[in-house]
Structure 1
């Protein structure tokens, strides 16, 4: 169908781009795109929100304001070409991701269809979820997996979860000191790569896994988060000591910047390797997949390029007979849009959630949050994303809204 033949209701010019930040969530920025008919699409991304805002208002707005909001692929390619002249990854791709999600949300609202339907239809209406064990809200899950992992696993089973993710070796690696905002996984998750993991530390980290297995047996899938905290030798030691425990995967056991080294983990251990929300664009995933450097592709929709790019990553992984496992430890829009991808992608395996976020601050800032029940996420079939920021969010004392308009 030619552009001129497209339904008039779907051809709407971008009138306004707004970014919304709240001081209580210092890593989050929401993006609202409003068209000439007054409908608004919602996007989101996480990390360095000030830099993301600068990209959106200084670079993106002059190119996108007045453009046809339904030409999502064309907008994505234009922005990528502009950024890639200087190097695209980082704040640029986060900004493009948030904008892209908002455009898909807007398109779905005009069409009266969910994003999953727009992508080609749904293959599932719910998906199994795993709990990433962060201290959040009323849950001290990160403290618990260190101090009482068996009890935590039993508690999660009783809450309906059949899978959990922990990072028992992070605390032994170098970490960033001071008052740095290191994100939801805490101080131990971020720092320089460790090179000296002692036998005692190896066994101390393994104790959490062993206790979970002893407490609940095979009823609980265990995912290990590596946070890229160790070098190849230490990562191999961790993987080999995990082999008898049948873990679901280890994620980012080393930094995901060398497919050849990641491929050694695949070849030299029997633990499935999950890589990586840190990869931006299908090109980065192509390099990992063609090297045989992972067993599972973890895509972050609000980092890797939005819906437009994440669907291509899903198709690419499927061509290698591998699943995707979307990432969310960040925000409610990330969860919602990832679930739309899961509804459509045949190779979606499982979805990440943080129960302290879903039961806590997510619900405080958005309306229409997806339901989590019995260890599964029920995927909404409402137009677009199926959720929106709560109107009262703009009235909070800690909210800052920045606008670019034509």
Structure 2
């Protein structure tokens, strides 16, 4: 798993200076160096940065990715399949970005069910480079589904080779971790 550096930088001038300061670190990419409301500002930063710029986890529709893709305002798009319109919509976004040689790194902050579903979709995306997964640190995360072996092995998602998503919910664990007042598919 990659190491992360978290840094808040305000103002376009400071973002340009920041990417220049970290170029020597040979970072894989810089994620969301500014809020995603201004694709033109992202395009200017991407044009001067030797560090690849990534964004998209807070863009929610194909239309919101449009200006970033057409202006080549980033090097890597990061649609979140649970927020951008689903698996097929994320694939449409990634395929569109691929026409502009923009890679796709899938933002993924969800249960093993969402992670496996995202993994299946990512396997059909030509420009896919990685599936982010920060939720694995939750103590019961892997126990939510029944499966043979770990979900991740040596840093790679182990995709099941069974029909559908290839997983089965562990209802006992799911019921145990329900939010107060919510039901289990009642």
Q: TM-score of the superposition, structure 1-length normalised?
A: 0.42
2:143 paired with 1:361: no
2:128 paired with 1:348: yes
Which digits, 9 at most, give the CA deviation of each residue in 1:184-241, with x for residues without a partner? xxxxxxxxxxxxxxxxxxxxxxxxxxxxxxxxxxxxxxxxxxxxx6332222222110
Q: 1:361 to 1:394 in 2, by over 3 A?
A: closer
More helix by share: 1
Q: Which has the higher contact order (CA 8 A, sep 6+)?
A: 1
Within 2, Cα distance between the matches of 1:362 and 1:397? 10
Within 1, Cα distance between the matches of 2:114 and 2:74? 23
Q: TM-score of the superposition, structure 2-length normalised?
A: 0.86
Q: Give the length in aligned residue pairs.
A: 183
Runs of 5+ consecutive residues of structure 1 not aligned to the other structure: 1-130, 132-162, 171-228
Q: 1:389 to 1:261 in 2, by over 3 A?
A: same
2:2 paired with 1:166: no
1:320 aligned to which of 91, 100, 108: 100
Residues 394 and 401 in structure 1, CA contact (< 8 A), matched pair in contact too = no
Which consecutive aligned stretches of 4+ in structure 1 deviate over 4 angstroms post-superposition? none
Within 1, Cα distance between the matches of 2:177 and 2:118? 30
Within 2, Cα distance between the matches of 1:289 and 1:370? 36
Match of 2:112 in 1: 332
Q: 1:382 to 1:267 in 2, by over 3 A?
A: same
Displacement of 1:370 in angstroms is 6.1
Residues 370 and 379 in structure 1, CA contact (< 8 A), matched pair in contact too = no
Displacement of 1:321 in angstroms is 1.6
Which digits, 9 at most, give the CA deviation of each residue in 1:340-387, with x for residues without a partner? 1221112111222237437x3211322238632222222223222222
Residues 80 and 108 in structure 2, CA contact (< 8 A), matched pair in contact too = yes
The within-5 A match list for 1:178-189 is none
SS, match of residue 166 in structure 1:
coil
Within 2, Cα distance between the matches of 1:265 and 1:374? 34
More strand by share: 1
Bigger Cα displacement from structure 2, 382-391 vs 365-374:
365-374
Q: 1:379 to 1:355 in 2, by over 3 A?
A: same
The within-5 A match list for 1:102-251 is 131=1, 163-167=2-6, 169-170=7-8, 230-251=10-31
Match of 1:98 in 2: none
SS, match of residue 324 in structure 1:
strand
